[in-house]
Chains A and B, each alone.
Chain A
């Protein structure tokens, strides 16, 4: 038994070292600062896909100032954000709608981040239709209007694209446009703003709704009630479909989380929101 015992001991020491280091890393203090006052820690955020791009930009800018902070941003939809914040799964939940009555009273604190317009988008080739009234959008989504020619377009059947039921964007759309009339059962349901944009940009007969922050050249935003779908109009209050975007925390935030939320509400954070296509609130 010459080399074997030594090799076994070495292996044991290496494995013990790995396990110990994993333990140390895993049990790190989440949201403290260290001795010399520099912020460090981790922040987890999840929820609305509308808020997601803004949260990512805010996180990038925040990390430039405080490089020791790690921030993870996830999607999942507004309802996921609310649930995760209530359960404590994440530090910050993001929602693109008001809290429902059933979600109140669970200790959630809402922090208004900014406002966001919901654009009604069509494929760029659908040039005949440049604008609709809120009533027309409602009828299309309720399934009462089925053909583009009924809204002065070319004759083709309208392909209705909507979000899944847990979506904050959908909830805001239902509240502001549908007004208790259910969305037709034959609509295609997709799980994020990005998917809706991809789907509408691929189908000349599609109509969809998505956050202003997701507008790009692949889709065209319609005028609603005569008002163009731009951030200026949404900020001015003339564009009818605008909703608040919230960060949610369980109880008042402290430490790194508070610093991040304060940063988001600061003039620098609001400038980032404006640059991304959202409407600043302060």
Chain B
């Protein structure tokens, strides 16, 4: 009897300890990054750092606005392309596809997650960039980066949206069909709105993944420090900035890169928190 009680208590403790370890690791990373970044914020000034338009470490100019614009532009384009594709695929998997098609398609989508990002970058550099050059510019562009990111966000958007659509109570669908609506009308006007919060959360999580992508970005986006105007222009992302310069940086330059990391951290934390909030609100409303 005593041993059963002990096992019960000790398993709770072990599980709690593991969860604490994960949390502590996250906190440690954040605290370390913040600690390295604070001197940079003090020296450069928060507003000058975030809204400065020139990044020239050699001349002590540390403005990350071109990189912020680059990251936002690429993520926005990627989400624009990935959302219709992703939701359409999710609808197919959840509502339309026969069992055998689903059995093939679902693992295929999940396989996309397993491909290392450097492979995406390589394929982008060797296949996409020369083709985009035919349209205009040098091929290394925001558009190339957005295409690569679309392929990387799609699995996230598809699987979470599919779960959200499946979670819609069958009674909604049955009621709609019973009232005479076609299957498409049911999907478009009943199921999707009911799954809305889950789908929004999926899109936001996909966006979070896109903002954090580094390796594939530095291979196809050109890494030029400039404000991209057309999608065929070269640009540099926040993540690319860190990756390309950290090996060479020292002193304030290095701290400024850590500060870029803090900015990224906060953005991704905010995005993920919004997604969680939306998911929670959705489940409370009894919809998705």
Contacts and interface: CB of A to CB of B under 8 A. Distances in A.
A87 interface: no
B247 A76 contact: yes
Contact of A165 (B130, B133, B244): B244
Interface in B87-134: 125-126, 129-130, 133
Contacts of B125: 195, 198-199, 202
A36 interface: no
A59 to B, nearest CB: 22
A198 B224 CA distance: 18
A203 B226 contact: no
Interface string A194-210: 01001100110010000
A215 to B, nearest CB: 19
B245 A165 contact: yes
A166 B222 contact: no
A132 interface: no
A51 to B, nearest CB: 15
Contact-residue size bin, chain A (C-beta under 8 Å from the other chain)? 20 to 34
Given A185-B225, A188-B224, A189-B222, A164 B133 contact: no
Interface string B221-234: 01111100000001
Contacts of B130: 202-203
A80 B219 contact: no
Given A159-B138, A202-B130, A203-B138, A186 B226 contact: yes
A206 B125 CA distance: 14
Interface residues of B, number: 24
A203 B139 contact: yes
A191 B245 CA distance: 10
Interface string A125-151: 000000000000000000000000000
B218 interface: yes
B31 interface: no
Nearest to A165: B248
Given A77-B247, A159-B138, A164-B244, A202 B225 contact: no
Nearest to A47: B247
A187 B224 contact: yes
A65 interface: no
A198 to B, nearest CB: 6
A190 interface: yes
Given A198-B125, A198-B126, A203-B130, A188 B222 contact: yes
A102 interface: yes
B234 A202 contact: no
A189 B223 contact: yes
A135 B129 CA distance: 30
A111 interface: no
9 contacts: A164-B247, A166-B246, A188-B223, A189-B222, A189-B224, A189-B244, A191-B219, A198-B126, A202-B130
Interface of B: 58, 125-126, 129-130, 133, 138-140, 218-219, 222-226, 234, 243-248, 250
